[in-house]
């Protein structure tokens, strides 16, 4: 399985593009992380990659087949997309939301069977949120909603998962659990593409990183070569340091907030 995009550009008008000429490929079981400042087009990129938005130029292919040559359901069987923010008008229970992931696998006139509900339930359990199963989706927190959406994505069982800032609303523990889960799924052969605002997440997963800035990929490569202090400083425009933490056996990125005299002001 290869997920690939070539020469992808998108914009709401030809002369005002959001991003331009983006290309990369993700193999089976690989994790691909997109990092970049606000407003650089990460969400638009994921929407194009998932086939929701139509790109101006370029192609997105799964195993050489163009996304737009496949039917919606065929795409959704192989490619799942988890949006960053989502709410619903109607107070469906978390289980009812999770089971919606079965949609591409069911015929147009079918509704989910007991087995589909069981699968959705198992995924709620896997994410440790089975206690939310009967709760209305509209009355749980943003982070809980994000976890429910993730369980819906797992219930969809796609080969490739596109996640738009999956950790943005999660507490510290759930962020870590989500990273562990992504790692576990990649080991099982799922491919993952996700955007994040935390360089440390890319270090922790030791994955391929694309640095996205001003609507294009500046460079793509392994986390340790891409996420240098110099690159991160340039992209985010703040002072920071990247250190190896031996206890965690991972690098991490720490911002430096400075006093007037130029020294860091954090707690010692």
Partner 1 sequence: MRSNTRKYRLMILLCIAVTFFVFILSISIGRYSIPFWTVLQTLTLQESVDTTIRSVIFEIRLPRIIAAMLVGAALSVSGAAFQGLFKNPLVSSYHLGVSSGAGFGAALAILLAAGTFAIQLYAFTFGALAVAASFGLSRLVKGSSTLTLVLAGMVVSSFFSALISILEYVSNPLETLPLIVFWLMGSFNAIRIPDLINITPIILVGIAGVMLIRWRINILSMGEDEAQALGIDLKRIIGILVFCCTLSTAASVCIAGVIGWVGLVIPHIGRMFVGPDFKKLIPMSAIIGANYLLLMDDIARTLTTGEIPIGILTSLVGTPFFAVLLWRNKVGWS
113: left (phi over 0), alpha (psi -120 to 50) or beta: beta
How many chain residues bind partner 1 (CB under 8 A)? Answer: 44
Q: Which stretch binds partner 1 (CB under 8 A): 22-30, 99-107, 180-188, 194-202?
A: 99-107
DSSP secondary structure string, 180-224?
HHHHHHHHTT-EEEEEES-HHHHHHHT-EEEEEETTEEEEEEEHH
91 binds partner 1 (CB under 8 A): yes
CA 94 to chain centre: 20
Q: How far is the CB of 52 from partner 1 (least distance, A)?
A: 5
Which 3 state secondary structure label does DSSP give 77?
A: helix
Q: From residue 137 to residue 176, what is the string marking binding to partner 1 with x (rule CB under 8 A)?
A: -xx----------------x--------------------
> Residue 129 Cβ, how far from partner 1 at the closest point, in Å?
15
Query: Which residue has tokens 């005002």?
Result: 16
If one counts every other C-beta atom within 10 angstroms of the C-beta of residue 256, the result is 14
Indicate which single residue of 16, 109, 173, 267 sits in contact with partner 1 (rule: CB under 8 A). Answer: 109
| 88 near partner 1 (CB under 8 A) | yes
CA distance 125 to 110: 25
Q: Is 103 in the site for partner 1 (CB under 8 A)?
A: yes
How many CB atoms are located within 10 Å of the residue 167 CB? 23
State yes or no: residue 199 binds partner 1 (CB under 8 A).
no
Which of 14, 38, 90, 261 forms a contact with partner 1 (CB under 8 A)? 90
Complex with partner 1: residue 55 or 104, whichever CB lies closer: 104
CB of 82 to partner 1, least distance (A): 8
Binding range to partner 1, per CB under 8 A, among 13-21, 94-102, 172-180, 255-263: 94-102
Residue 41 interacts with partner 1 (CB under 8 A)?
Answer: no
Q: Which is nearer to partner 1, 37 or 91 (CB)?
A: 91
Helical spans, DSSP H, in the chain:
42-49, 72-78, 94-99, 114-126, 142-156, 172-187, 199-205, 223-226, 229-236
Helix axes 142-156, 172-187, angle to 10 degrees: 10
Q: Which residues bind to partner 1, rule: CB under 8 A?
A: 47, 50-52, 71-77, 80-81, 83, 86, 88-93, 95-97, 99-101, 103-104, 106, 108-112, 114, 117-118, 120-121, 133, 138-139, 156
């Amino acid at each position: 399985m290869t997920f690939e995009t070539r020469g992808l550009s998108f914009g709401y008008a030809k002369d005002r593009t959001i991003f331009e000429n983006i290309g990369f490929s993700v193999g089976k079981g690989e994790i691909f992380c997109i990092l970049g400042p606000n407003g650089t087009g990460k969400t638009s990129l994921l929407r194009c990659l998932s086939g929701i938005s139509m790109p101006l130029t370029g192609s997105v292919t799964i195993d050489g087949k163009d996304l737009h040559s496949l039917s919606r359901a065929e795409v959704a069987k192989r490619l799942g997309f988890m949006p960053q923010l989502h709410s619903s008008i109607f107070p469906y229970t978390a289980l009812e939301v999770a089971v919606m992931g079965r949609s591409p696998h069911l015929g147009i006139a079918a509704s989910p069977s007991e087995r589909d509900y069981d699968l959705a339930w198992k995924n709620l359990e896997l994410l440790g949120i089975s206690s939310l199963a009967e709760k209305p989706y509209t009355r749980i927190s943003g982070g809980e909603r994000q976890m429910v959406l993730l369980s819906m994505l797992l219930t969809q069982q796609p080969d490739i998962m596109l996640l738009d800032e999956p950790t943005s609303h999660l507490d510290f523990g759930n962020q870590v659990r989500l990273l562990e889960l992504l790692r576990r799924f990649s080991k099982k052969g799922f491919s993952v593409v996700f955007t994040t605002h935390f360089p440390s997440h890319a270090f922790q997963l030791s994955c391929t990183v694309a640095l996205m800035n001003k609507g294009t990929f500046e460079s793509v490569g392994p986390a340790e070569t891409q996420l240098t202090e110099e690159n991160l400083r340039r992209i985010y425009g703040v002072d920071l340091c990247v250190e190896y933490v031996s206890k965690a056996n991972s690098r991490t990125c720490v911002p430096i907030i400075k006093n007037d005299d130029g020294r860091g002001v954090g707690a010692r």
